[in-house]
Amino acid sequence: MGLLNTGHDQTNQQKDIGTALKNGKEILFQGFNWESHKYNWWENLESKVGEIAKAGFTSVWLPPPTHSFSPQGYTPQNLYSLNTNYGSEHHLKALLAKMKQHKLRSMADIVINHRVGTTQGRGGIYNRFDGIPLSWDEHAVTSDTGGLGNRKTGAIFQGFPNIDHTQDFVRKDIIGWLRWLRHNVGFEDFRFDFAKGFSAKYVKEYIEAAKPLFCVGEYWDSCNYRGSSLDYNQDSHRQRIINWIDGTGQLSAAFDFTTKGILQEAVKGEFWRLRDGQGKPPGVMGWWPSRSVTFVDNHDTGSTQAHWPFPSDHIMEGYAYILTHPGIPTVFYDHLFEWGNSIRNQIAKLIDVRKREGIESRSSVRILEAKQNLYSAIIGDKVCMKIGSASWCPSASHTQWELATSGHNYAVWRKQ
């Protein structure tokens, strides 16, 4: 079932979907980039917890916490070892304890699409996991990635044994591990890596069993392009993300890759892209804002990988959009801590306006302008904003607006 309109937020509020999704006040911080494994990362973050909490974030997405074949953590092997390139188990637990003191939730990056084997099994492939906890055999690996299990229920992650979630013993073990992360290690939130690799119904089962407070899935596939030009209409792209959220029983939010793809083209002087055919925001945010996790860049799209980067001279226009709009905004580590004090202060001011004026994931949006060099909107009747090189300010006919914060090519007003 694909939900296409905005009516479902109200009807589902009665469901037990975790207070975080209900209250809509989340502001996420991605607490790492692609190079973080080269440093004593848990210690580095521990020194910044006070600053992150003071900025107004509610949850910090941390890199994968368990042992991995590759240093970044995305090729897991021994899922019960918390000693990684980011630091020791001791330092991780110290970081989580400090975050709890500051009422910051910790989000674990859950990589359960694939796993690196320890020993060669059938076919001479490393598709067995002998000698470590969860010592699965070839039946835990899908038949289309070198195992004896069933076929994949999603996209294949090439080059590694992909886990067969149709196996009861596999799901039982994964649930045991997720409960351990949640209740023993102390993570409160989950981010599901490569979510298009396995059926969303298993994510639903895992969330119901481990009971994280908040979840977000990385359902990332390509936007619709014509050659190198992004199509105006991305409805089929956002519908695929919405279908995945539906498949989780609506228990998980999802990263709004649709908004990311459109916004980074819009800021180049194509702001007409930010209003869809129905006059709404054109990403997941426009259809299901309480499940849309917006972002400007992450460790894959930006950082040193730069697979799909936001134009670096326009990132504040990007933040002015996502931090004033509905959805659940995410700020990237690099932008807060590595791009200088001016960017950090500008982001902090936008977060302050969002919190002070009570903008949340379900706030209304009235788009006023969406043309070549200008986008402007009123959000929740309390905040007005513009981005783009054209000069613009709200009309004072009915409402007295005062400038709350501004910067290069953006401005935000609040009601006086």
Q: Report the half-sphere exposure of 250 (CA within 13 A, side-chain side).
A: 18
Amino acid (one-letter) located at 182: R
Rounded Cα gap, residues 182 and 383, in angstroms: 37
Element (H, E) at 177: helix 168-179
193 as an active site residue: the answer is yes
DSSP 40-53: -HHHHHHHHHHHHH
Under 8 Å between Cβ of 325 and 365: yes
- Kindly name the residue from 164, 173, 188, 193 that is annotated as catalytic: 193
Rounded Cα gap, residues 271 and 207, in angstroms: 38
68 has which bridge partners? 76
Q: Report the half-sphere exposure of 252 (CA within 13 A, side-chain side).
A: 32
Nearest to 263 by CA among 253, 254, 276, 273: 273
270 as an active site residue: the answer is no
- DSSP letter assigned to residue 365: E
Under 8 Å between Cβ of 369 and 375: yes
Beta carbons within 10 angstroms of residue 242's beta carbon: 25
**How far is CA 207 from each of CA 16, 104, 169, 172, 187, rounded to the nearest angstrom?**
12, 20, 17, 13, 13
- Kindly name the residue from 218, 317, 334, 357 that is annotated as catalytic: 218
The catalytic residue positions are: 193, 218
